[in-house]
Structure 1
């Protein structure tokens, strides 16, 4: 890992929906009861990493003021510029890869050094579920004997994939989805769109406001529109699963499967409630209603379980043949409405 990957400036933000978690950490710190390891748990796209960086900035500040880092002391200046020698970022060397044991061993060396600026040494490790077994085992000793004035902040998007021995040595800080109105108002202000458009966007990203921000700013609406159009054309037999799989095989397959899983959840809602009031993908209402009329719950549940299983495999850094996986999934999608 390059030095620039380990040390860089903070991008600390405490989003309004995390005020409770923030106040809890401040009380622990001010009461001198801050644990040596925190585990921030929650779904992706809600701002956990920014919260972790805010916690790091606060505990490393030499003179925090009004429940936030002062921004003026030498430590804050380092945190907000080229990076602080007592703050260590640990992530996979490439997106979707595992955190390796050698990376954790390098971290252990850092943890055994003395603080260069005085005060806390802080580690931000994300995502915690990316550690392979050897890396997780190597981290255990550090968690058991962290040293004085050290804080490890582990961030997980998949709590069930974190080793129990790791979880048991951390104090968990659960980070929940914000209230729908809070999220819609915040996203509306950030993107300068009306709240109704913000709500529709939040429906697509399962209520995660930071994911909604990314979705809009990275132009993912065009990819989603193309993919959903292809799914509709498959049902109309205008294209084949092989053609669609070839078209999208170079895209983020986990993203595509996530969108498909959302459609299947909406079809299930229609089948179970016999109305359309609870569906999230309202822009695809006609297609969803048509599928619901011509399929069975058993078919939808089977495909939904398969898609969820494949997403889990991708999160565990399995590397399937994208083309074949998409072909299999799309064949099953077309089979929903055929006897």
Structure 2
């Protein structure tokens, strides 16, 4: 078992022990947030299932199956990463592929395992096909589906599977220590990045390891300057060098904090290192201005992501001017 990530160990042990005790359900859905090493967890479970000389809850790492898994070349392990394409011909090809896998004979005289890496990309018609497979319950075929807490999988399908939830708990000291050691960062910074990354340890780790932390500090200094000069267009250069989703996250997280501090205590804040800026915004600007701005930036982000061919610079310029109008002219 690869225990590089301490938060996956408990769920790994739970799943393996259930199968050691004779649990029969071979259709497994694991819910997780993006950036929680869910694929690593599933890969280790699959490696144990295929291992020829299991050592209690661990794979031996020496048999032919383990070696093939380590090489990512096991003939009975099928990794299917469905694209967002929803054409009938594409779906038919995917269905034919799964049918061939089920009808084929195991190469290692053991289980055959199909891993769908993202339920968000599974079309409804394909889920209907998978439901029939789950109901037929083929004796030597396992289905693993990674689900990013979406509602793409219907209740009737979930009801036929065994479902697990993978979380990164900030209350577990081992988890926080991992992030601190991996990034050589303080507890305070780790907690801020975890909140900004929606509890995703690998995303938080990336943000702490790269120059994004310094750029975030520069961004909030410039934001403070914008408040003094009443000119939010000074933020535009940040959109040219950093992903717009991240910049918008920084904007509405500080606005949300400004609302929180009006009604809640400091422990609820996301940007714990920007308390002075949060107090300034909260004191000077009304709830109406803050909530209008948050809603507007959410809408802007949605349009940037979903409208094909949209001029990003024009939309961001327009949104910054709108932001300025809400804050200083309404």
Shared fold, TM over 0.5: yes
What is the aligned partner in structure 2 of residue 120 from structure 1? Answer: 111
**Cα pair distance change 1:24/1:245, threshold 3 Å:** same
Corresponding position: 1:259 with 2:250: yes
Bigger Rg over Cα? 2
Aligned residues: 323
CA distance in 2, matches of 1:250, 1:134: 40
What is the aligned partner in structure 2 of residue 164 from structure 1? Answer: 155
Q: How does 1:46-125 map to 2 (within 5 A)?
A: 46-93=36-83, 97=84, 101-102=91-92, 104-105=94-95, 106-125=97-116
**318-327 or 117-126, larger mean C-alpha shift:** 318-327
3-state SS of 1:104 partner: helix
Higher helix share: 2
Choose the corresponding residue for 1:187, options 161, 164, 179: 179
RMSD: 3.3
Q: CA deviation at 1:77?
A: 0.1
What is the aligned partner in structure 1 of residue 166 from structure 2? Answer: 175
What is the aligned partner in structure 1 of residue 266 from structure 2? Answer: 276
**203-212 or 326-335, larger mean C-alpha shift:** 326-335
* Residues 121, 149 of structure 1: 8 Å contact kept: yes
CA offsets 1:175-223 (integer angstroms, 9 cap, x no match): 2231343332111222334444433443433433222222234543345
Q: CA deviation at 1:116?
A: 1.4
3-state SS of 1:32 partner: coil
* Residues 36, 151 of structure 1: 8 Å contact kept: yes
CA distance in 2, matches of 1:118, 1:178: 39
3-state SS of 1:123 partner: strand
3-state SS of 1:159 partner: coil
* Residues 40, 173 of structure 1: 8 Å contact kept: yes
Q: CA deviation at 1:147?
A: 2.0
Structure 1 residue ranges without an equivalent (≥5):
1-10
* Residues 82, 116 of structure 2: 8 Å contact kept: no
Structure 2 residue ranges without an equivalent (≥5):
none
What is the aligned partner in structure 2 of residue 8 from structure 1? Answer: none
Q: How does 1:1-339 map to 2 (within 5 A)?
A: 13=3, 15-93=5-83, 97=84, 101-102=91-92, 104-105=94-95, 106-180=97-171, 181-225=173-217, 227-229=219-221, 231-237=223-229, 240-241=232-233, 244=235, 248=239, 251-273=242-264, 275-305=265-295, 307-308=297-298, 319=308, 321=310, 322-323=312-313, 325-327=315-317, 329-338=319-328, 339=330
Q: CA deviation at 1:157?
A: 1.7
